[in-house]
């Protein structure tokens, strides 16, 4: 019962989409007209319309991200108004809302569906007068268009830039595998081409010896898509207006309605407490970087120097060169090793399958337990021009039971942008890439392991946004442990296992420059949250960011830095007034990791409980309740401080 991935019929896609939406509307209207509504007769069929729509539409939205083309852009952009109108119309339909109010059930998961649906109807303005509903529909449509434009502007700007380096001395010290990817010809001469794609960009920022070229590349990266400035202003205006129509003072209050954080003050106090704990450590870290840079005659270290001198400092202090790990992290072997680990941790089996895919490098596995297939996962791991940057998990099908009692499996995509393989060299990962893969796999198993029968709270559906990062961050912690690395860290040429000393250095490197990295994430989180506490426009956006940098950026970014133009998480993704979620959820993930893993040993009974009480339960109950059910207590807030070794400053 898995859906086959098929390239959409672009010429007729919007026509077929409209037909699907029209059929859904008619069907839902017929459901509402029935007398004696109960959960099975009304809610289950209603949820099924969403599942069928996702199965139809997700391949297009996915391809627009991973194989972006004029065809995908056109079909996707033409679909947005249809989808926006459809979802707004449903969410503001008073009859559907009142039907949900009448349904009763004793089942916990079904109660959670009803609670969340009633909340979401109210947050969509179902109880507002018609003119307000109409304005909300206009806002929702425009926001979907602007989010897409922001993302497309960023992708286009990323692909439009290249830095051609002709002098060999300007690439000395850059790893061989990165140079192979960069090597090209110009006028019959060998040159090196660096782009704003993350593997290429980070290769030069980390190892590039020419400081002026590092700045040139950095400036291109932090000034991408200047047209997004106007997009940001309009997005912020519309979000503010939407919040006020719904009765909130500002957008952050609206955002928190679907999160576990209780208030604006709770979020800000949490972030500022972490900042206070991190600052003393970060000052020491930056002092070391500055002293190292001065040895090269760099008196005033800048943002475009940080990666370069951090790598040098890591080599000096830890005798650790991340590049030395890459030959041991061949992508396919890492993937298999990670899957073997997950298999043993949760007693399941991954079986590779041959099914239709969108790119020849995509690998697909079915997940089995007790010889029964229960879900499917697609891995698309290498960078290419047609793929937007970053890494993510995208759900496609959701495990559930339909109105007739038929059970359906789940499926999901894991997408990354690792260095692509060449004819000479396979795709080799940095350890950071290994961590990223574990992170996205954590999201995937949260969706794929669900045992919940109700589609709206199965897998990642219905999980509060500020705890959805918990399972991903939990799994990534294992990527630093020697007992896990031993499963897949073998030299891609000789087959020799990674030396144990190198594994120990990876573990020690976990918190290298951790406080500086923490401050950077807190800067992003505070900027995002405060940006949505009142209406900021034009220069006010940059002024807010600059004010936060005064406190949190110990190495001040250049005045031309326009980070916000590329902040896709909040302007093209789902993290608006929610970027704090990464740290909020990390309290749970840190506490959970310490509960499950001690002295290099996995506590099988605890991890079994994690699977049963967290992963298999999806969004069927609030996460704080599931956590207490699992460990018999609330998470310890000090676990995050402990994870980053920041305890001595409290």
Q: How confident is the model at residue 644 (pLDDT cuts 50, 70, 90)?
A: confident
Tell me the pLDDT of the chain averaged across its residues.
95
Residue 191: beta bridge partners? 184
Per residue in 323-332, pLDDT tens?
A: 889 999 999 9
Cα angle 261, 265, 271; round to 5: 75
- pLDDT score of 231 more than 70: yes
Q: Which residues contact 106 (CB under 8 A, 6 or more apart)?
A: none
Asked if 617 contacts 452 with a C-beta cutoff of 8 angstroms, the reply is yes
Reading the block at residue 169, the tokens are 């001395």
User: Tokens for 319?
Assistant: 């005798």
- Residue-wise pLDDT for 174-186, tens only, equals 998 889 889 999 8
Which entry of 48, 112, 440, 523 is annotated as an active-site residue?
440
Query: Residue 320: which pLDDT band, with cuts at 50, 70 and 90?
Result: confident
Q: In the annotation, is 172 catalytic?
A: no
Does residue 147 carry a pLDDT above 60?
Answer: yes
**What tokens appear for 4 in the block?**
């086959």
Closest CA to 562 of 576, 578, 542, 544: 542
**Confidence tier at 28 by pLDDT (50, 70, 90):** very high
H-type helices in 420-499, by residue range?
431-448, 470-476, 482-485
How would you classify the pairing of strands 363-369 and 349-352? antiparallel
Nearest to 284 by CA among 642, 554, 647: 554
Structural contact between residues 34 and 96, judged by C-beta atoms closer than 8 angstroms: no
**Residue spans of alpha helices (H) in 172-302:** 176-182, 198-207, 211-222, 228-245, 251-255, 264-294
Q: Which two tokens stand for residue 50?
A: 């969403």
User: Residue 649: what pLDDT?
Assistant: 42
Nearest residue to 61 via CA among 151, 139, 142, 160: 151
What residue ranges do the domains of the chain occupy? Answer: 10-91+93-127, 161-222, 327-513+582-649
Q: pLDDT (tens digit, 9 = 90+) per residue, 603-620?
A: 999 999 999 999 999 999
- Provide, rounded to the nearest whole percent, the portion of the chain with pLDDT above 90: 91
Q: Please state the rounded mean pLDDT for residues 360-369.
A: 97
Confidence category of residue 647, pLDDT binned at 50, 70, 90: low
Residue 196 to residue 185: CA distance in whole angstroms: 19
Task: Tell the residue number behind the tokens 């890439």, with chain if given.
Answer: 433
The pLDDT value given to residue 389:
85
* Cα–Cα nearest to 257, from 126, 105, 118: 118
Using the predicted structure, report yes or no on whether residue 646 has a pLDDT greater than 80. no
Q: What is the pLDDT of residue 49?
A: 97
Residue range 148-200, pLDDT digits in tens: 999 999 999 999 999 999 999 999 999 988 898 899 998 889 999 999 999 89
**How many whole angstroms separate alpha carbon 220 and alpha carbon 196?**
8
CATH number, domain 327-513+582-649, options 1.20.210.10, 1.10.1370.40, 3.20.20.370, 1.10.1200.10? 1.10.1370.40
CATH 1.10.260.30 assigned to domain 10-91+93-127? The reply is no
The 189-194 sheet, strands edge to edge: 163-165, 189-194, 183-186
């Amino acid at each position: 019962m898995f859906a086959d991935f098929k390239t959409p019929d672009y010429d007729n896609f919007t026509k077929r989409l409209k037909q699907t939406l029209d059929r859904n509307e008619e069907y839902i209207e017929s459901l509402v007209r029935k007398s004696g509504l109960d959960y099975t007769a009304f809610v289950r069929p209603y949820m099924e319309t969403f599942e069928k729509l996702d199965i139809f539409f997700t391949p297009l939205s996915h391809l627009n991200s991973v194989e972006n083309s004029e065809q995908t852009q056109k079909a996707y952009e033409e679909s947005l108004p249809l989808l926006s109108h459809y979802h707004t119309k449903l969410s503001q339909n008073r009859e559907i809302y009142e039907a949900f109010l009448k349904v009763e059930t004793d089942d916990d998961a079904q109660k959670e569906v009803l609670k969340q649906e009633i909340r979401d109807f109210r947050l969509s303005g179902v109880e507002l007068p018609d003119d307000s509903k109409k304005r909300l529909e206009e806002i929702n449509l425009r926001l979907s268009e602007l989010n897409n434009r922001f993302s497309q502007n960023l992708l286009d700007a990323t692909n439009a830039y290249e830095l051609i380096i002709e002098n060999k001395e300007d690439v000395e010290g850059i790893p061989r595998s990165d140079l192979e990817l960069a090597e090209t010809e110009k006028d019959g001469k060998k040159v090196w081409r660096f782009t704003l794609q993350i593997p290429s960009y980070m290769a030069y920022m980390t190892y590039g010896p020419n400081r002026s070229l590092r700045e040139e590349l950095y400036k291109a990266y932090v000034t991408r898509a200047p047209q997004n400035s106007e997009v940001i202003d309009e997005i912020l205006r519309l979000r503010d207006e939407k919040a006020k129509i719904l009765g909130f003072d500002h957008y952050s209050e609206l955002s928190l309605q679907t999160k576990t954080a209780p208030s604006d003050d709770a979020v800000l106090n949490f972030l500022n407490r972490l900042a206070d704990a991190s600052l003393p450590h970060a000052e020491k870290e930056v002092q070391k970087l500055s002293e190292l840079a001065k040895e090269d005659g760099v008196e005033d270290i800048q943002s475009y120097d940080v990666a370069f001198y951090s790598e040098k400092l890591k080599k000096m202090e830890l005798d650790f060169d991340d590049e030395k790990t890459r030959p041991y992290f061949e992508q396919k072997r890492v993937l298999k090793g990670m899957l073997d680990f997950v298999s043993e941790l949760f007693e399941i089996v991954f079986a590779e399958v041959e099914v239709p895919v969108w790119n020849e490098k995509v690998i697909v596995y079915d997940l089995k337990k007790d010889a029964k297939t229960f879900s499917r996962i697609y891995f698309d791991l290498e960078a290419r021009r047609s793929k937007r940057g970053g890494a993510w998990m995208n759900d496609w099908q959701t495990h559930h039971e339909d109105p007739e009692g038929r059970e359906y499996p789940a499926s999901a995509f894991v997408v990354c942008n690792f260095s692509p393989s060449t004819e000479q060299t396979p795709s080799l990962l940095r350890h950071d890439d290994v961590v990223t893969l574990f992170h996205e796999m954590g999201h995937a198993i949260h969706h794929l392991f669900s045992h919940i029968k109700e589609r709206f709270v199965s897998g990642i559906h219905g999980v509060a946004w500020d705890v959805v990062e918990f399972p991903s961050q939990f799994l990534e912690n294992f990527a630093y442990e020697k007992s896990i690395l031993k499963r897949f860290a073998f030299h891609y040429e000789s087959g020799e296992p990674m030396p144990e000393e190198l594994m120990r250095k990876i573990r020690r490197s976990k918190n290298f420059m951790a406080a500086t990295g923490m401050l950077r994430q807190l800067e992003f989180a505070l900027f995002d949250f405060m940006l949505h506490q009142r209406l900021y426009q034009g220069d006010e956006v940059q002024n807010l960011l600059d004010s936060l940098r005064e406190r949190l950026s110990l190495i001040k970014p250049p005045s031309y830095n326009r980070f916000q133009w590329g902040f896709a998480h909040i302007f093209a993704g789902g993290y608006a007034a929610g970027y704090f979620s990464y740290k909020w959820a990390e309290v749970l993930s840190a506490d959970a990791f310490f509960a499950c893993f001690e002295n290099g040993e996995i506590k099988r009974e605890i991890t079994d409980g994690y699977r049963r009480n967290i992963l298999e339960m999806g969004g069927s109950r609030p996460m704080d309740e599931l956590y207490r059910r699992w460990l018999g207590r609330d998470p310890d807030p000090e676990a995050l401080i402990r994870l980053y070794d920041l305890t001595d400053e409290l």
